[in-house]
Copies of this chain bind each other. A is one copy, B any other.
Amino acid sequence: MSTVPTVYHPVNFAQKYSLFSEQWQPKVIARMNDYQFKLARLEGEFVWHSHADTDETFIVIEGQLRIDFRDGFVMLSAGELYVVPKGVEHKPWAEKEVKLMLIEPEGVINTGDIQGERTAQNDVWI
């Protein structure tokens, strides 16, 4: 008796982006150990914040992102990655909507040490 192979499905970024349009609300798309992969749409200016306990990875999928630091900035385009070290104050900014992926430990709040109107609901899967 032969068995039929199981076809597993990858996570497709474009398909996941088609499921939401709201900005500043990261959606969890996958988990690796105790880390989460999150997709987000950002436009405009975020708040200054930092994450005391963890680095945070940004990968731009489409568009352009600037991350300001107190002493400078980094510009990211599609196909580029930047790891913001833990404890470093940063402020993401996008002139036009940017699609990005965040990678960070489960439970990290988007606004870090600052709670405010930009603070998103955490752990929302899509």
Contact = CB atoms under 8 A, between A and B. Distances in A.
Interface residues of A, number: 40
Contact of A7 (B56, B61, B73, B82): B73
Question: Interface of chain A, helix or strand or loop or mixed?
Answer: strand
Contact of A5 (B8, B14, B72, B77): B72
A33 interface: yes
A14, A33, A71, A104: most-surrounded residue (chain B CB, <10 A): A33
Interface string A101-113: 0011100000000
Nearest to A86: B33
Contact of A8 (B32, B57, B74): B74
A77 B10 CA distance: 9
A86 B86 CA distance: 27
Nearest to A12: B80
Contact of A73 (B8, B54, B55, B80): B8
Which 7 residue pairs across A and B have the least CB separation, nearest first? A6-B72, A8-B74, A10-B80, A5-B72, A10-B82, A32-B55, A11-B81
